Amino acid sequence: MKMSHIPFGTTDWAAVEKTDHAGTTGMATWRTRNFGPADNSVRVRMVEYTPGYLADHWCEKGHVLLCLEGELHTELADGRTLTLKPGMSYQVADGDLAHRSHTATGAKLFIVD
């Protein structure tokens, strides 16, 4: 990720429109901002997963993900499962390791990709 041509600014996440994304079970609610030129933009999201959420796909996109609330379990294609609690993060490069997430209790995340 190279961040360029992004002027300094602030985001009031409560004012960013929500979009809903169904999982295999549960729901993900995203508040999304894109920064920079279209051919090299950086997507920044505040994401909330409902209790019982399970991703409907294996993701291969790179992310930096910070858990703000709740507990998130991330299953990796190599069989490992990692658990994030508030204040913990993970980072993964595009195409490096497929992953999918689930939560029994719900979670709130800040994601940059």
Greater confidence (9 vs 3) lies with 9
Residue 64 inside a domain? The answer is yes
Q: What is the pTM of this model?
A: 0.92
pLDDT (tens digit per residue) in 35-76? 988 888 899 999 999 999 999 999 999 999 999 999 999 999
Residue 16 inside a domain? The answer is no
Greater confidence (7 vs 30) lies with 30
For residue 106, CA distances in Å to 7, 78, 80, 92, 100 come to 33, 24, 21, 22, 15
Range of the domain at 93: 45-113
**Do residues 85 and 67 make contact, with C-beta atoms less than 8 angstroms apart?**
yes
CATH label of the domain that carries residue 112: 2.60.120.10
Report the number of distinct structural domains present in the chain: 1
Residue 59 inside a domain? The answer is yes
